[in-house]
Structure 1
Amino acid sequence: MDSGVNGKVLCSLSNTLPFELKPSIQENMYSLVTKTSLDREKVSQYEITIQAKDLGVPPMTAFKSLVVEVSDVNDNRPQFPQNPLELYLPENNVPGASIFSVTASDKDLDKNAAITYHIFRGEGNDMASFLNVNSDTGVIHALKSFDFETTKSFKFQVVANDSGSPSLSSNVTVNVYILDQNDNVPVILSPVSANGSAEGVEEIARNVNAGHLVTKVRAFDADVGYNGWLLFSLQEVTDHTLFGLDRYTGQIRTLRPFTETDEAEHKLVILVKDNGNVSQSATATVIIKLVEPKEAFASSDVKTTGETEDNDITFYLIITLGSVSVLFPCQHRCFDCDAML
């Protein structure tokens, strides 16, 4: 209200704020403008105090406070807390059940931070067709049951989109490792009878010594680790003093020489059991016939050709398994070669 210099007004504000006052061509008029860009995610609100001071002596001052709210724009993509993610899924999962969930966050507000999810189904991502994700919650469901013996691992991608305009997105890779369950029964490879059942007939001479190898029960389990580690035991035997079974190799050997009073035929039932938490098992029956040495020699001579063919088949089987183990390393215990492949 004063005149002259007493009525001349200067306005100012703190230098620490990202704002400044620019005088207008009209006297005592100022514009409040930004001097740097604003980031709502760092500072969403400013309290500004403007000081007005005249040029009189002594100067008179006045203050005015105002609040500046920084509005949101969609300048932040959804973010996953970790990328990639790892999922360890036991095989034989229930189809349709949830197996995993993903969560992303967005620093923006309201619809700019509202996230929806979908699974990327691009070329070369075949396993994604067996998965579904809840678009609102990120909970993932498997539409099929996975089999460790068929699929040991795969990966897929989940995409998170915000609802801003234009929408921003990011994705996360999920590496899935199928865990083996003890779902395979041991398979008896030998001895096998002519009709294909797990039963074999072995003839040995009465004059063999203690420790003589009568036969070997061979078995295989498609599971791995402890689930595929097989142990052999005698479930039934006509004479415990005659035959012994190696629990690790499946070899049946004589414990003592035969006598004239020993029966001519003996039945052994071999139990083959894996080491899973809930073990699976199979049985093999071995019929051992005692014959006189001359008969045993004649029988051996007749079987020579057939045994050669069997040995050839076994040789090719070992070669085949060896080749597979190079391409697909596993931990199955194969008692045909007494080794861990």
Structure 2
Amino acid sequence: MNDNAPHIEITSFSNSIPEDSRPGTTVALISVNDFDSGLNGKVICSIGEDVPFALSPSLRDKMYSLVTKSPLDREKQSQYDLTITAKDAGQPSLSSEKTIHVVVSDVNDNRPEFLLSPYTFYVTEGNDPGASVFSVKAFDRDENDNAVISYHILRDGNDIIRDRGGENLLASFLNVNSENGDILALKSFDFETLKTFQFQVVATDSGTPPLSSNVTVNVFILDQNDNAPVILYPVSSNGSAEGVEEIPRNVNAGHLVTKVRAYDADIGYNGWLLFSLQEVTDHSLFGLDRYTGQIRTLRSFTETDEAEHKLLILVKDNGNVSLSATATVIVKVVEPKEAFAASDVKSAAEEDEGNDVTFYLMITLGSVSVLFLISIIVLIAMQCSKTTDYTSKYLQEPNYDGTLCHSIQYRSGDKRYMLVGPRMSIGSTIAPGSHANTLVLPDRRSASGECSSVVL
């Protein structure tokens, strides 16, 4: 009678298998026995289909091998509980189960991965040297030593970091904590010197062999108001922001006296300059544009106004902590002749230069006109020559029967004669006794009354 259930025995078992094991790798050897006989002792073993393992019958009876049937991936599933079922063929059938625990061991098959790629950081200038300014972070899906990551900055063959403009930065400019990825700046950033730069950080695991990956880090330096305005004009010879301007007394209101020019190395609001008039001898005479720095007269000068005025201009930026500079302008009111003396000399020089230009221009125009007239005369002469040739050909046409006189040439001895008259026929002869000076023509009278003979 089928009164004995199959018995499952694990004869050899490795509870840990590397994740890079090939399909068909043996995990365990299983022996199945049933004390019944015949069909009651015939046992069939099976395992679930949703696992990457399978039972393979052995050459020996009632022996099975537990093998891998597909690649393993520890990062997806690191362990399996496999239930093996043994069932006999008796009626009614009896069965038994046995569960084994299989662990998939890690292999260094994953590179470190950074949380961001690329990294972008904004750092305000004037940071403390040696302090951490930002950090990068990578993780590894492996475990144990395969997931232990160290960081270092990737440097080229010259051991330098390059900024985006291609300039070289010292290797000691930045450093990285190899354990946690904190980036340290070993000197203070200066926006006016360096606005942006780029470098790469490498993360390497501790596996065998080690795997690594790198990430690009973009750093933008943010400006802060650390530069005071610089006065460009007025500046005297000793370097102080002071200048002298002379204007004629007869100028009207709105006359531009001068313009205070300045710049700030900062940007944005930190570099936006405003001008203000701090001190002036007469507030009714001069006005200052707060945005452009232009100084203009507010009214005309009178005889009672002083001849010299001192203006103190304050130039300040719009930073949170505003920085400023001052300039002094001395305005001297002079008589018109004195004010325009220098300008007259300059105007005379410009006039002489203008006269020279006019002279050369007249020569050029005259040359072009002469060449044009010569060209017209040559064209007319060529046209007349062509007309004469055409007329001669027309008069010598043998078939012409008009009323114009006809000419022929006649030679007697060393002399050459030309006979002119109406069209002659071949029968025309020289009259006898005329000493060869009278040509007798046939009588061809017409209404036009042509001559009938020509005396040579």
Answer whether TM exceeds 0.5 for this pair: yes
Report the counterpart of residue 155 of structure 1 in structure 2.
198
Greater relative contact order (Cα 8 A, min sep 6): structure 1 or 2?
1
Please provide the CA RMSD for this pair: 1.9
Report the counterpart of residue 110 of structure 2 in structure 1.
76
Paired with 2:237 and 2:303, the residues of 1 have a C-alpha distance of: 30
Q: Secondary structure at the match of 1:70?
A: strand
Which consecutive residues of structure 1, in runs of 5 or more, have no partner in the other structure? Answer: 306-341
Q: Which residue, 66, 69, 78 being the options, matches 1:32?
A: 66
Report the counterpart of residue 327 of structure 1 in structure 2.
none
Q: Identify the range of structure 1 (104-113 vs 6-15) with the bigger mean alpha-carbon deviation.
A: 6-15
Q: Secondary structure at the match of 1:164?
A: coil
Report the counterpart of residue 266 of structure 1 in structure 2.
309
Deviation at 1:301, TM superposition (A): 4.7
List aligned pairs for 1:93-172, cutoff 5 A. 93-123=127-157, 125-126=161-162, 127=169, 129=171, 130-172=173-215
Deviation at 1:196, TM superposition (A): 2.3
Report the counterpart of residue 269 of structure 2 in structure 1.
226
Deviation at 1:161, TM superposition (A): 0.7
Deviation at 1:67, TM superposition (A): 1.1
Q: Secondary structure at the match of 1:174?
A: strand
Cα distance per residue 1:249-288 (max 9 Å; x no partner): 1111111111122122111000011122222111000111
Q: 1:239 to 1:185 in 2, by over 3 A?
A: same
Q: Identify the range of structure 1 (206-215 vs 293-302) with the bigger mean alpha-carbon deviation.
A: 293-302
Paired with 1:276 and 1:22, the residues of 2 have a C-alpha distance of: 80
Paired with 1:233 and 1:303, the residues of 2 have a C-alpha distance of: 33
Assess if the C-alpha contact under 8 Å between 1:72 and 1:108 holds in 2. yes
Deviation at 1:193, TM superposition (A): 1.8
Report the counterpart of residue 277 of structure 1 in structure 2.
320
Q: 1:245 to 1:274 in 2, by over 3 A?
A: same
Assess if the C-alpha contact under 8 Å between 1:103 and 1:138 holds in 2. yes
Assess if the C-alpha contact under 8 Å between 1:244 and 1:253 holds in 2. yes
Deviation at 1:198, TM superposition (A): 0.6
Q: Secondary structure at the match of 2:145?
A: helix
Q: Does residue 1:173 correspond to 2:216, yes or no?
A: yes
Deviation at 1:300, TM superposition (A): 4.5
Q: Identify the range of structure 1 (30-39 vs 88-97) with the bigger mean alpha-carbon deviation.
A: 88-97
Paired with 1:138 and 1:49, the residues of 2 have a C-alpha distance of: 45
Q: Identify the range of structure 1 (104-113 vs 218-227) with the bigger mean alpha-carbon deviation.
A: 218-227
Paired with 1:142 and 1:302, the residues of 2 have a C-alpha distance of: 61
Paired with 1:16 and 1:276, the residues of 2 have a C-alpha distance of: 68
Q: Does residue 1:42 correspond to 2:76, yes or no?
A: yes
Q: Identify the range of structure 1 (185-194 vs 234-243) with the bigger mean alpha-carbon deviation.
A: 185-194
Q: 1:303 to 1:146 in 2, by over 3 A?
A: farther
Paired with 1:304 and 1:95, the residues of 2 have a C-alpha distance of: 60
Report the counterpart of residue 193 of structure 1 in structure 2.
236
Paired with 2:51 and 2:154, the residues of 1 have a C-alpha distance of: 45
Report the residue type matching 2:199 in the other structure.
F
Cα distance per residue 1:146-177 (max 9 Å; x no partner): 22222111111111111111111111101111
Paired with 1:44 and 1:128, the residues of 2 have a C-alpha distance of: 46
Q: Which residue, 206, 219, 239 being the options, matches 2:249?
A: 206
Q: 1:114 to 1:304 in 2, by over 3 A?
A: farther
Paired with 1:167 and 1:287, the residues of 2 have a C-alpha distance of: 75
Report the counterpart of residue 90 of structure 1 in structure 2.
124
Report the residue type matching 2:101 in the other structure.
V
Deviation at 1:236, TM superposition (A): 0.8
Deviation at 1:225, TM superposition (A): 2.0
Paired with 1:303 and 1:263, the residues of 2 have a C-alpha distance of: 28
Report the residue type matching 1:94 in the other structure.
D
The total of aligned residue pairs comes to: 306
Assess if the C-alpha contact under 8 Å between 1:120 and 1:128 holds in 2. no
Between the aligned residues of both structures, percent identity stands at 72
